[in-house]
Amino acid sequence: MHRHNGGPLNEDDARKLFNHIRAIEVIEEAEQDLRDDKKVRKELAKKDGFDAKILDAIVKRRKLGLGETRAADTLIKMYEEALDDEGVLPLEQTRITQPARRTLDEISQQTHGVELGAAAPPGKETLEEVLERTKREFEANHPGTSVSFKDPF
C-alpha cells in the first residue's frame, strides 16, 4: 500500500520515513560488519591450516541437522557408486580443454591462404601497406597529428 503517491509528506510521516530509512541503514552496516568479521575469522582459520571451503561445508551441514545431513550423505554415496558402476571418469579427466590460441599468421593462412607478411596477390595490398596508407591519409586529413599502430598481441 502506497499512501504517499506524489503528495507531500506531513511532519509525522516524514519522521517515520526517516526512522525506517535510518533503521535499514543501521542494519546494513551491521550486516557488513558481520561479513567483515566472518572474512577475518576464515582468514584466521586458514592461517591455522584449515580449509575455508570445508569449514563452510561443515557450517552448512550443521544448519541442516543430523537427519538431513545423513540423508544427503546417503544420496551422494548412492550417486557416486552409480557413476563408478558406469565407469565415469572424474571431471578433470572429462573436461573439454580449449584449443591453443592461433597466431594471426595461422588465421590468415587458413582464411586467405597467405601469411600476414607474405606478398599480396596481384592488385591487393598487404596488411602493412593498408596500415601505412591509412596512416598517411589520416595524418593528411589531421595536420599536426601522428598515428602509430601497435600490435594488440
How far apart, in Å, do the first and last CA atoms of the chain sit? 58
pLDDT digits (tens, 9 = 90+) for 9-37: 889 989 999 999 999 999 999 999 999 99
Q: Count CA atoms within 13 Å of residue 33 on its CB side.
A: 6
Percent of the chain clearing pLDDT 70 (strictly above) = 75
Cell numbers for 15, please give them: 519522521
pTM: 0.45
pLDDT digits (tens, 9 = 90+) for 118-135: 666 666 776 677 778 877
Cα 128 to Cα 117, 118, 121, distances in angstroms = 8, 10, 14
Residue with cell 509525522: 12
pLDDT digits (tens, 9 = 90+) for 32-59: 999 999 999 999 999 999 999 999 999 9
